[in-house]
Amino acid sequence: MSDNRWTFTLNKRPDDKPFRVMNELIPIFPLGVVVYPGDELNLHIFEPRYQQLINDCAKTKIPFGIPTVLDEKVGRLGTLVELVEIAHVQADGQMDIRTRGLRVFRVSRLLKLYPGKLYSGAQVSYLEENRGKSGGKLMLELVAKVKKIHQLLAVKKEFPKAEAELTSYDLAHYAGLSLSQEYELLGLADEGQRQIFLRRHLEQVLPVLAEMESLQKKIKLNGHFKKLPGFEL
């Protein structure tokens, strides 16, 4: 059976302690994205194996997993998602779908083929997480820092919900995290830990962006007539 499994990403092995041992078998759709609980992810499905997966999920109402692909390897972490809607189906079977993230899982075993299907499967256990409450002093600080990043980058992005209702999961995709950083945050079980992770990242990024803004202003001024006071000896 070993040749029927994919390779795990070994450099980001999560701690097993926060995960409840269940070994539930689920269908999976590995992708190079990180999906958090509550995320709404829209996908265009064009491969026949995943068309079969979506059709099966639509018929049976079962969710499927999206484990994150990092460095062309399937990671041990992913998120269970539910199929919200098949928005459009083309004549050749390609489709547009809407999904929503449910809960984080850890893969214990990958199967190249889900029994009797074209798509893959995995045995998983689920993260026992503390989602915590929205709001709070630290979250308000994080929201302000993210808005500052958007200002420095001249980016206009609307948060998915009111600022007072935001959690670390809601903010993560807006904070300029790399894929590997988003993946690392996915494995943190506690809301407080996730907020501290985001604060550490934002405190590193903001000074760099502020310096870049200053540099851009200096470059734009190059060649202009400058009104500068003389220096008196």
Question: With 90 as the cut, is the pLDDT of residue 18 above it?
Answer: no
Q: Summarize the confidence of residues 78-87 as an average pLDDT.
A: 97
**Which residue would you say has higher pLDDT here, 224 or 124?**
124
* Amino acid letter, 35: V
CATH architecture of the domain with range 2-127: Roll (2.30)
| CA–CA separation, 76 and 208 (whole Å) | 32
3: confidence class by pLDDT, cuts 50, 70, 90 = very low
Report the phi/psi class of residue 150: left, alpha or beta, with left for phi > 0 and alpha for psi in -120 to 50.
Answer: alpha
158: confidence class by pLDDT, cuts 50, 70, 90 = confident
The count of other CB atoms within 10 Å of the CB of residue 229 is 5
Q: What is the dihedral of CA 175, 188, 69, 109, to 10 degrees?
A: -170
> What letters, b where the CB count within 10 A reaches 16 and e where it falls short, cover 30-59?
bbebbbbbebebebebeeeebbbbbbbbee
Q: What is the mean pLDDT of the chain?
A: 84
Instruction: Write out the DSSP string of 131-195.
Output: ---S--HHHHHHHHHHHHHHHHTT-----SS-GGG--HHHHHTTTT--HHHHHHHHT--BHHHHH
Show contacts of 190-196: CB within 8 Å, 24+ apart: 190/129, 190/130, 190/132, 191/129, 191/130, 191/131, 191/132, 191/133, 191/167, 192/130, 192/132, 192/138, 194/168, 194/169, 195/138, 195/139, 195/142, 195/168, 196/138
Question: With 50 as the cut, is the pLDDT of residue 223 above it?
Answer: no
| CA–CA separation, 158 and 229 (whole Å) | 43
Q: What is the pLDDT of residues 38-79, one digit of tens each?
A: 999 999 999 999 999 999 999 999 999 999 999 989 999 999
Q: Summarize the confidence of residues 118-130 as an average pLDDT.
A: 90
pLDDT of 160 reads 83
User: Residues 52, 117: contact at Cβ < 8 Å?
Assistant: yes
Element (H, E) at 34: none
183: confidence class by pLDDT, cuts 50, 70, 90 = very high
pLDDT of 10 reads 38
User: Residues 59, 43: contact at Cβ < 8 Å?
Assistant: no
Q: What is the pLDDT of residues 186-199, one digit of tens each?
A: 999 999 999 999 99
Picking from 35-39, 134-138, 161-165, 226-230, which range would have the lowest pLDDT averaged per residue? Answer: 226-230
22: confidence class by pLDDT, cuts 50, 70, 90 = low
pLDDT of 28 reads 97
CA angle 215/218/222 to nearest 5° reads 140
Q: Summarize the confidence of residues 86-112 as an average pLDDT.
A: 95
pLDDT of 45 reads 95
| CA–CA separation, 9 and 202 (whole Å) | 26
Task: Find where tokens 């979250």 sit.
Answer: 139
| CA–CA separation, 101 and 207 (whole Å) | 33
Element (H, E) at 229: none
Q: Summarize the confidence of residues 81-107 as an average pLDDT.
A: 96
Q: Spell out the domain ranges in the chain.
A: 2-127, 137-221
Q: Summarize the confidence of residues 142-171 as an average pLDDT.
A: 88
pLDDT of 172 reads 93
**Which residue would you say has higher pLDDT here, 10 or 97?**
97
